Structure 1
């Protein structure tokens, strides 16, 4: 069982990295006609998400939010990630990402990780 718990935490880390990749992909894909806007969205949006995550959601952050705000902000970020992925036309990946996140979150709650 401990191996499954470790794998679940590893999956969580991969999901968090996927958030940054998805926002970068979304920014470069939907940034309009201008190269500057594509660059700003493609680089800026994952940086903004990483800053928000590091300040309010990271386990060792001095400003970590308490429940229920922690869960709410996490759901907002994962929801925006699904929206960004859907907005690029990747419906199958959106459903897969959302399903994996929900399953991972359920296991985190059950196992109190």
Structure 2
């Protein structure tokens, strides 16, 4: 299913915002997960940093190590899933479910759109 151009642009913009939101949530979770200030800083930097590195290596459009679609989807599921779990751990269950649902629909639409573009040679 090839998305109409305006929906494609909207969905790609939403994907970027979801990626940024996932990193922000992981940083928030890291900060709230410890009592010690040094550990809070470490977790607030390491959790989103690790997610960003893994995303950049395997799931980004210009990934360092291109992997099959299943690998990209696995990385996205891990990062978005970690953000949803982090929201739940932060006592934001409605946000967690909402984030996961939007990320799932966004990823499904983007995947279908990319597959359609590949089959049409675009």
* TM-score, normalising length: structure 1: 0.91
Tell me the secondary structure at the aligned position of residue 112 of structure 1: helix
Question: Quick check: 2:54–2:75 contact (8 Å CA) kept in 1?
Answer: no
1:1-113 alignment, distance < 5 Å: 1-31=4-34, 33-112=35-114
1:87, CA displacement in angstroms? 0.6
Mean Cα deviation higher: 4-13 or 75-84: 75-84
Aligned residues: 112
Q: 1:67 to 1:89 in 2, by over 3 A?
A: same
The structure with the largest alpha-carbon Rg is 2
Instruction: Please give the alpha-carbon distance, in whole angstroms, between the structure 2 residues aligned to 1:4 and 1:42.
Output: 34
The Cα RMSD (Å) is 1.3
1:78, CA displacement in angstroms? 1.3
1:83, CA displacement in angstroms? 0.7
Question: Quick check: 2:27–2:48 contact (8 Å CA) kept in 1?
Answer: yes
Instruction: Please give the alpha-carbon distance, in whole angstroms, between the structure 2 residues aligned to 1:96 and 1:41.
Output: 24
Q: Which runs of 5+ in 2 are unaligned?
A: 116-122
Question: Quick check: 2:56–2:64 contact (8 Å CA) kept in 1?
Answer: no
Higher relative CO (Cα under 8 Å, sequence separation at least 6) belongs to 2
